[in-house]
Chains A and B, each alone.
Chain A
Amino acid sequence: MRFLWHGITGFVIRRLLLGLLTLLLVSIVVFAATQTLPGDPARAILGRSATPDSLRALRAQLNLNHSAIVQYGDWLKGLLTGNLGTSLAARQPVSAVIGKRVENSAFLMFLAAIVSIPLAIVIGAVTARRRDSKFDHGMSVGLLGLAALPEFVVAILLVVLLGTTVFQVFPAVSLIPPQDYPWQHMNELVLPVLTLVIAVTPYISRIMRASMVEVLESDYVEMARLKGMSERKVLWRHSVPNGIAPTIQVIALNLAYLAGGIVVVEFVFGYPGIGAAFVDAVANRDIPVVQALAILIAAVYVLLNVAADVVTILVSPRLRTSLK
């Protein structure tokens, strides 16, 4: 048992447990928020013409006769066993409603990640090497501007620029037939992925640049030069390993951010993912779906944060050795 609590494994486990605790607290918040409905949900669903019998039946079905804590317990149990409740709007199990969509959204996030991460690292490293040059200044202002724009603004601007008004290169909506896989329609994915890439690249590249600059101006890099190391060795052996650590944190945080960013992006492009489903559910006051998706998105967020912490420790020898 000792093995499980100490060293790196111990740290990972502890961090995971902390994440789970956070998730639990989040679930309480979500549940509490959504159950403070004024009025009677059963009546709201069945409408004014409902008979008292049907109301009673629905209330029993929705578990509304029990206390809040029992309801929460049941819901939590359901979550953990894969029963996410029943969608009020679709009258189907939530899992059926969102199943395919999770796949679609995951693919979208995946594409955004594999484009933005290498791109941002390269931009960060290059601007750090050429700091204070015109290129660097230009990039810095440009990235600053892009980072400031809300995602939906970026999405709309891209649609205007490349989809409808200025040029008409890509489709303005990304409707994918429900039976198809998203990678069969790459053309429809370009604009949404581009929006997401623009949303996160500036932050990652900025942190990469900052940490590389700090490393390049450090005493040990100066010492490496004074020892006669070649510039290539200075960059790759001495600088990058040190510069990458803070960047990894930001990368994970930004990936987590993407989990929220897809909400707007899917809405704009009509992409059949969980983001669009979430907006629909909110509009329809479809509480079970809202709850399930909120928890799902929060879980992705928390997991990525945990991953960020763990990777940071692994990458930094100082922190790693202090874990014994």
Chain B
Amino acid sequence: MSEAAAVATTPPLVAPAQPRPVVLLLRRSWQQARTKVGVTLVLLLVGIAVVGPFFAPHSPSAFVGAPYAHPSSHAWLGTDNLGRDVFSRFLWGGRSVLGLAIAATALGLALGVTIGLFAAYASATADDFLMRAMDVILAFPSLVLALVAVATVGPQLWLLVLVVGITTAPRVSRVTRGSSVEIVERDFVRAAEAIGEPRRKILLGEILPNVASPLLVEASLRLTYSVGLIAALSFLGFGLQPPAADWGLMINENRQGLTVQPWGVVAPVLAIALLTIGTSLIGDGVARASSGIERGSDEE
């Protein structure tokens, strides 16, 4: 400190205080064009799914004309295989897909994050055991597992959520564990151990905030995946049962009339396509933003 008087004043830290890392991540994600497109698509389709029914001109089970009739002023997108209004059924059809997919993803995330965090921080044997258990679930394609379950119990909605959730969990746990293991090696976790922070506090306070970015990305990937899986199960006839209005079910029901009246298939197919593309774009936008932030903060 004897130099303090003689030395010219050191320049103060010029950058203004930064916001919390999560906020920063979200802000930077938004700056990507693809995130904007993704959010638009998702909002659009969620909007259709949630408020669509209020705007449906007809009841989804009402017969408004001959089967596979062309679009008219009466039925804007024509009629389906039984003569019901495609447009109305389309507006009604998103709720089930979306609702089930969100529920399944939430379940999978909750399970997967818990298992992954625990495996990363626990002893080697616990880690091994948990990951082997996850491997067994991962040992076959989710669709096959779901179908096996449906073959046994029947097409129940709660079963769909459960099975899709259970097949999501291992993938989430793998990502969580992978990121956490890298964090666990870092010195600030050692420092917390040395002072004697309890295990739970270390998991929640030190490790979890640092895996938030990859988890956000994984969450959107899983949502994309769940939507696809739930829609596929409905398409195969194992989701909602007729006469319910459901996008996946509609696609299968109206396949025969494709050459005559495509809208019964095209409308729901495009809806599902745009929804999955949207969630996927959001995930990619967040991924790019977080890798950009990491690269920037390592420049020392």
Task: Give me the interface of A with B, judged by CB distance under 8 Å.
Answer: 22-23, 25-26, 29-30, 33-34, 36-37, 141, 144-145, 147-153, 156-157, 159-160, 164-165, 172, 256-257, 259-261, 263-264, 267, 278-279, 281-283, 285, 287, 290, 294, 297-298, 301-302, 305
Contact = CB atoms under 8 A, between A and B. Distances in A.
Contacts of A164: 258-259, 262
Interface stretch (B61-69, B71-79, B186-194, B232-240): B232-240
B143 interface: yes
A286 to B, nearest CB: 8
B272 A33 contact: no
Interface stretch (B108-116, B200-208, B277-285): B277-285
Interface of B: 34, 132, 135-136, 139-144, 147-153, 224, 227-229, 231-232, 235-238, 251, 255, 258-259, 262, 265-266, 269, 272-273, 276-277, 279-281, 284
B140 A148 contact: no
Contacts of B144: 260, 263, 278, 294, 297-298
Contacts of A37: 152
Contact of B149 (A33, A150, A264): A33
* Residue from B148, B150, B238 with most neighbouring chain A CB atoms (10 Å): B148
A261 B281 contact: no
B135 A22 contact: yes
B232 A152 contact: yes
Contacts of B135: 22
Contacts of A257: 141
Nearest to B34: A141
A254 B141 CA distance: 11
A287 B153 CA distance: 11
A156 B265 contact: yes
B152 A157 contact: no
A263 B141 CA distance: 10
B231 A165 contact: no
Contacts of A282: 147-148, 150-151, 238
A27 B235 CA distance: 27
Contact of A152 (B148, B231, B277, B279): B231
B235 A152 contact: yes
Contacts of A150: 227-229, 231-232, 272, 276
A41 to B, nearest CB: 11
Given A144-B284, A160-B262, A153 B236 contact: no
Given A157-B269, A259-B141, A301-B139, A144 B258 contact: no
Contact of A172 (B136, B235, B258): B258
6 nearest interchain CB pairs?
A260-B141, A150-B228, A148-B280, A298-B140, A282-B151, A148-B276
